[in-house]
Amino acid sequence: MSRSSYNNSYILGISFISALGGYLFGFDFAVITGALPFLRDQFGLDAYWEGFATGSLALGAIIGCLIAGAVSDQYGRRKGLLLAAAIFGISSLAMSLAPGLGLFIGARFMAGIGVGMASMLSPMYIAEISPAHLRGRMVAINQLTVVIGILITNLVNYSLRNIGEDAWRWMFGLGVIPSALFFIGALWLPESPRWLVSKGRSDMAARILEKIGGEGFAQESLVTITRSMGGNIRMSYKAAFGKTVFPAVLIGIGLAVFQQLCGINVVFNYAPRIFQSIGVPQDGQLLQTVFIGGVNLVFTLLAMVLVDRLGRKPLMLAGAGGLAIFYIIVARMLAAGSANVSWYLLAAIGTYAISLAPVTWVLISEIFPNKVRGAATSIAVLSLWAAYFILVFTFPILFERLKDSVFYIYAVICVLGLVFVWLKVKETKGKTLEELEDVIIAH
């Protein structure tokens, strides 16, 4: 089928709307970075509570993944996205108004539920509505909106830094605005054709597929989707651990855990603390978060160009190896108290943004069979958030005790991740989701 017959503007439009969940993911992920200096003063946080306040988002995200898996398979991807948007808005308001640490952490846990739902549903939805030749770039849009959310949030945090001790309340409260935009946009989204087929609504699925790629694309897609369903239309975690699909689930879990334990998110979440350790004042600490967000955006845009050209596996290998090298340099420069460490931290951010950050999400959205995709994606993303919690909870404690040496630990993890990708990950670019079932399961 000619690629010119696809309705690219329609595909791009619904991908961007769905990916607004990624923007809110980026907001809740980044807002804590600028707020932490104020929260430490407001609530008297020590290293333990600093880590728990940051990591409580991940605990909520674990619950969100479980909710998203059940909701999306029972009621549809679109309704799951709408629920996530509503949770984002309510939790942003609750965090901004929290009178004490307990209620703040509770509200951040609630925000995590929305983040967990969106982190699973947005890339999965985009993968299910995108033609094979566009899928990598379209799923990477979700990562693009994540990094745009991080950058804009860092800019807003920096602009609010001098308005007083309640600056952190404005930082969190402004999340209501993108939440409302996401909810309104999600009302316009069509349902996933693959979900509609699983529910016996092939006529409606055909209309959506025809709008995406024309009549020939719709007919061909319906045949392959129906065949891949194999008659199993109910979500089942038990099926995800079946003998034929469990190897793919293990690969998804491994990729998800590696993306977090590689360590880069301590730079995103704790940049002010890292720069404070070498004597950078608070204004400079928050300014560095803006630079980090800018580099993250530029290299994510580059990743969108490369992911369907170079492929997934080469980018993952380059990212793992590059991060290991930069972490060793960062550890040595922090030990020397050198302000030039910022250049190498930015290089690490760029390396991650062009490789592990977007490509992991692309692979997780691709490698699971249609009939277990909801449950299997839920398991993989749940594992990702569990690893994120471990990372951000332990960093303040480890950094207090080990200082710069903690980055050597992350370097070792990156080397182990490189070996895992080399041995276990198959290339997926250019194949339909149904074709990938045979590749991954055979592997």
Q: Are 30 and 149 in contact, with CB atoms under 8 Å apart?
A: yes
Q: Are 156 and 35 in contact, with CB atoms under 8 Å apart?
A: no
Higher-confidence residue of 416 and 129: namely 416
Q: What is the mean pLDDT of the segment spanning 271-280?
A: 85
How far apart are alpha carbons 408 and 403 in whole angstroms?
Answer: 11
Question: 179 to each of 71, 108, 266, how far by Cα in Å?
Answer: 19, 15, 25
Least confident of 58-62, 313-317, 336-340, 438-442: 438-442
> What percent of the chain has pLDDT above 70?
93
How far apart are alpha carbons 33 and 20 in whole angstroms?
Answer: 21
How far apart are alpha carbons 379 and 386 in whole angstroms?
Answer: 11
**Nearest Cα residue to 269 out of 112, 93, 37, 20:** 37
Instruction: Report pLDDT for 96.
Output: 95
Cut 0.75: pTM above it:
yes
Q: Are 246 and 240 in contact, with CB atoms under 8 Å apart?
A: yes
Q: At 356, is the pLDDT very low, low, confident or very high (cuts 50, 70, 90)?
A: very high
How far apart are alpha carbons 252 and 119 in whole angstroms?
Answer: 14
Q: Are 238 and 372 in contact, with CB atoms under 8 Å apart?
A: no
Q: Are 168 and 39 in contact, with CB atoms under 8 Å apart?
A: yes
What domains, with CATH codes, occur in the chain? 3-442 (1.20.1250.20)
pLDDT single digits (tens) 216-257: 888 888 887 777 665 444 556 777 777 777 888 899 999 999
Tokens for 367? 């490698």
Question: 251 to each of 174, 175, 185, 264, 412, how far by Cα in Å?
Answer: 37, 34, 33, 21, 20
pLDDT at 401 over 80: yes
Q: At 405, is the pLDDT very low, low, confident or very high (cuts 50, 70, 90)?
A: very high
Q: At 271, is the pLDDT very low, low, confident or very high (cuts 50, 70, 90)?
A: confident
